[in-house]
C-alpha cells in the first residue's frame, strides 16, 4: 500500500498541485486524498469508493490507472484479512471467499457487501419529485438513517454537483442534469456512471435499494428500499441531507 500511496503522492507533487487543487479537480474530499497518500485505505468509506477514488486520482494526474489498480490489488492480496468462513482449522491462514477475481475485503466492507440481497427490477407508476426527501411509490417506509460516524459533506455549497452511480444489481435509471436528460437505460451490476450538473439533478430508479452512489466524493444515503421505484431531486440546497 505504501508503494501505491507514494506513487500517487509523487505524481501530485510533480504536477505542482496541492491537496486542495486536486480536490477541486476530482471532487474528492481533501481528507480522503490525504488518507490515500498516507496509505491509510482503511479510513476510506468502503472498497467501492476506495477503488473509484484511486482511479480518479490516477487518471487526473495521468498515471496509468491499470498499473495503479494492479499494484493496489497485489498489496491487498498480501495483507492479513479476517475469516469469512464459519469454520477455520487451527493454524490456517484466514481467507475471504468472494466472487471470482476478487481479493479479500476488509471486515467492514465484507459485512456491508454481505447484506446486499438480489431482487428483480420492479416498475411502478410515476411519483412527483421531492425536494429534500425521496417519497416511495408504494407503502410508507423511509430509508434507514445512516450511522453518524460516516463522512459528511462540507458545509460550504459546492460549485457543482457530481454523482458517481454504481448499482449493486441490474437497475433501470432515468437521469436529468440541469433540466437535460443525460441517462435513460438499464445499468448493469457494478457498472459506474458519472454525471455532473451545475445546479440540480433528478432521477427515477426502478429499484431504489440497488442505487448505490457517491455525491461529490461522499457516499450517499439509499433513496429507498429494495424493489421500490423512486423519483428524487438533488440540488445545491439539499445535497447535504442525502450524504451519509
What pLDDT score was predicted for residue 155?
A: 54
The overall longest dimension of the chain from CA atoms, in Å, is 60
List the single range of 25-34, 37-46, 95-104 with lowest mean pLDDT.
95-104
Kindly state the percentage of the chain with pLDDT values over 70. 67
Q: How many Cβ atoms sit within 10 Å of the Cβ of residue 142?
A: 12
The predicted-structure confidence for 88-145, as pLDDT tens digits, reads as follows 444 444 333 344 344 444 544 444 445 443 333 344 444 444 443 444 444 444 444 5
At residue 79, the pLDDT reads: 55
Does 178 have pLDDT greater than 90? Answer: yes
Whether this prediction's pTM lies above 0.95 is answered by: no
Place of cell 500517487: 8
Per-residue b or e along 52-76, where b marks 16 or more CB atoms closer than 10 Å to that residue's CB:
bbbbbbbebbebeeeebeeebeebb
Q: Are 198 and 167 in contact (CB under 8 A)?
A: no
The predicted pLDDT at position 153 comes to 42
User: Which residue do the cell numbers 445535497 mark?
Assistant: 239
More confident of the two residues 115 and 3: 3
Name the pLDDT band for 64 (thresholds 50, 70, 90): very high
**All domains of the chain in start order, with CATH:** 2-77 (1.10.260.40), 135-242 (no CATH)
**146 with 45: CB under 8 angstroms?**
no
* 30-59: average pLDDT: 91
The answer, yes or no, to whether residue 23 has pLDDT greater than 50, is yes
Instruction: State whether residue 106 is helix, strand or coil.
Output: coil
What percent of the chain shows pLDDT beyond 90? 41
Which comes out higher in pLDDT, residue 164 or 114? Answer: 164
Q: Is residue 153 a contact partner of residue 238, using CB atoms and an 8 Å limit?
A: no
Amino acid at each position: 500500500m505504501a508503494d501505491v500511496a507514494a506513487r500517487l503522492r509523487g505524481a501530485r507533487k510533480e504536477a505542482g498541485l496541492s491537496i486542495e487543487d486536486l480536490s477541486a479537480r476530482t471532487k474528492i474530499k481533501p481528507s480522503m486524498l490525504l488518507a490515500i497518500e498516507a496509505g491509510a485505505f482503511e479510513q476510506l468509506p468502503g472498497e467501492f469508493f476506495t477503488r473509484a477514488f484511486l482511479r480518479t486520482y490516477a487518471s487526473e494526474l495521468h498515471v496509468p490507472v491499470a498499473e495503479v489498480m494492479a499494484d493496489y490489488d497485489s498489496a491487498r492480496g498480501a495483507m492479513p484479512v479476517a475469516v469469512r468462513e464459519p469454520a477455520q482449522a487451527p493454524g490456517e491462514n484466514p481467507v475471504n471467499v468472494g466472487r471470482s477475481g476478487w481479493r479479500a475485503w476488509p471486515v467492514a466492507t465484507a459485512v456491508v457487501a454481505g447484506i446486499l440481497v438480489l431482487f428483480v427490477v420492479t416498475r411502478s407508476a410515476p411519483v412527483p419529485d421531492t425536494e429534500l426527501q425521496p417519497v416511495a411509490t408504494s407503502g410508507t417506509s423511509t430509508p434507514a438513517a445512516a450511522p453518524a460516524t460516516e463522512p459528511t459533506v462540507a458545509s460550504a455549497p459546492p460549485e457543482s454537483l457530481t454523482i458517481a452511480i454504481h448499482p449493486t444489481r441490474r437497475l433501470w435509471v432515468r437521469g436529468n442534469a440541469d433540466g437535460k436528460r443525460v441517462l435513460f437505460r438499464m445499468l448493469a451490476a457494478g457498472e459506474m456512471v458519472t454525471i455532473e450538473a451545475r445546479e440540480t439533478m433528478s432521477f427515477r430508479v426502478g429499484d431504489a435499494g440497488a442505487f448505490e452512489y457517491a455525491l461529490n466524493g461522499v457516499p450517499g444515503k439509499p433513496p429507498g428500499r429494495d424493489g421500490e421505484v423512486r423519483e428524487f431531486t438533488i440540488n445545491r440546497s439539499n445535497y447535504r441531507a442525502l450524504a451519509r
